[in-house]
Structure 1
Amino acid sequence: MKNRGLLQMSAIAIVAFFIHGCAGSDRVNGNDTTISQTQTMGGDAKEEPAEINYDEMFESIGNTKQFDIVALANSNQNLTTFVNLIEKADITDVLKSKGPFTVFIPTNKAFDHLSKTELEQLLQPENKVRLIKVLQAHILPNKVYATDFKDAQRIKTADNKRINVQVSPDKTVTIGGARIVKPNVEVSNGIVHIVDDVIMATEATQN
């Protein structure tokens, strides 16, 4: 019961930071940007079509601005793993709140890049801290468009790691090893970028 209470208190603090912690510019400035800790990811992968037409990904729902981040993810069968993970982690209320947030949502296929053992370990209650560190790499507490990212930019995490950003000559953005395949999906509480891998942070001392 004590541990559960601490996790609930942490979730409240996380929501407070996300809502109030970036009360400045909505854009990324310079080569270093900071993201805060959030809570966890967890869930079971489901099948998805072999090929995804990213251009038509949200066509059936019309104006995406009428949906929050969670509702948008719920609208597409290729994002069911992400939905299941945030539900099991009790983070849905955070991603339904006012924001603004930028969320990088991996497709179901992206989560296949984690081994079955890795995913199962992350889902264990005793590994909740590890889950926090995985999910925090996918959430920025402000509104960031794909064009705001700069090549060689570094995003700092709350645990003093970094996420490296690469921008190719054709303006494709890769963040923490995950390529943005559907950028700049506007939602009521921020921006969603669909990515093709799970974002990974590296030690800040690494080059």
Structure 2
Amino acid sequence: MSILLFRFVRLQCCPGYEKIPGEPGCTGSKPLDDLVKTAENLRLKHFSQFARKKSFQRNLKKNQAYTIFVPSDDAISDSIRTSGVVSESTALYHVVPGRLNFSDFVRTQEYRSVFQDAKIRVNKYPNGVGTVNCARILRPNNEASNGIIHIIDQVSQNLPNI
């Protein structure tokens, strides 16, 4: 008796592009959504809940681009399970003014988050791996109309005293 195993690979288009029926790849371009809608499209439910709050949005200036290092939903769930509630200040700590593309990162750099100007350290290693406060960047460069989202594998715990 033999067993057949099938593996399916589901490919997704990069943000800002879409599949055109009958054409190979993701050749159609589509307008970018804002950061909140982009997070929702990336199925980042936990972070989207914070981002939709008016108190969160009050901390972001209008007409300015932001880079957000968004922990995956699994990372936020793990953090809630181990250390309790993930607060809005924790979410704001992951936000940096400006549009920072993954290709812009070199070696070690520090940026100031919108939460109390706290430092965020980004490392990019020769093998192409990037980290943010030791959290690995899983999916970089998810473009939005008002910034960019990099999905990371853990919630950063390096918050200043609140």
Distance in 1 (alpha carbons) for counterparts of 2:97 and 2:17 = 25
Gaps of at least 5 residues in structure 2 are: 1-8, 19-28
User: Is 1:86 equivalent to 2:42 in the alignment?
Assistant: no
- 1:162 aligns with 119
Matches within 5 A, 1:80-119: 80-88=45-53, 90-92=55-57, 97-116=62-81, 118-119=83-84
Distance in 2 (alpha carbons) for counterparts of 1:66 and 1:197 = 26
Aligned with 1:152 (options 102, 108, 114): 108
The two structures have a TM-score, normalised by structure 2, of 0.68
Distance in 2 (alpha carbons) for counterparts of 1:54 and 1:161 = 38
User: Counting strand residues as a fraction of each chain, which structure ranks higher?
Assistant: 2
1:150, distance to aligned residue in structure 2 (A): 2.3
SS at match of 1:143: coil
Answer whether contact 2:39 2:45 (CA < 8 A) is retained: yes
Partner amino acid for 1:69? Answer: L
| Structure 2 CA distance for partners of 1:168 and 1:105, relative to 1, 3 Å | same
Partner amino acid for 2:132? Answer: I
Answer whether contact 1:58 1:64 (CA < 8 A) is retained: no
Matches within 5 A, 1:43-58: 56=12
User: Radius of gyration: which is bigger?
Assistant: 2
Answer whether contact 2:96 2:111 (CA < 8 A) is retained: no
- 2:148 aligns with 191
Distance in 1 (alpha carbons) for counterparts of 2:133 and 2:122 = 6
Answer whether contact 1:154 1:163 (CA < 8 A) is retained: yes
User: Counting helix residues as a fraction of each chain, which structure ranks higher?
Assistant: 1
Give RMSD over aligned pairs. 3.3
Higher relative contact order (CA 8 A, sep 6+): 1
Distance in 2 (alpha carbons) for counterparts of 1:64 and 1:93 = 28
1:175, distance to aligned residue in structure 2 (A): 0.5
Once the two structures are superposed, residues 110-139 of structure 1 have per-residue CA deviations (whole angstroms, 9 ceiling, x without a partner) of 11331436333x45xxxxxxx42x223211
Answer whether contact 2:16 2:32 (CA < 8 A) is retained: no
| Structure 2 CA distance for partners of 1:90 and 1:202, relative to 1, 3 Å | closer
Gaps of at least 5 residues in structure 1 are: 1-52, 124-130
| Structure 2 CA distance for partners of 1:54 and 1:76, relative to 1, 3 Å | farther
Partner amino acid for 2:103? Answer: T
Bigger mean CA offset, 88-97 vs 100-109: 88-97
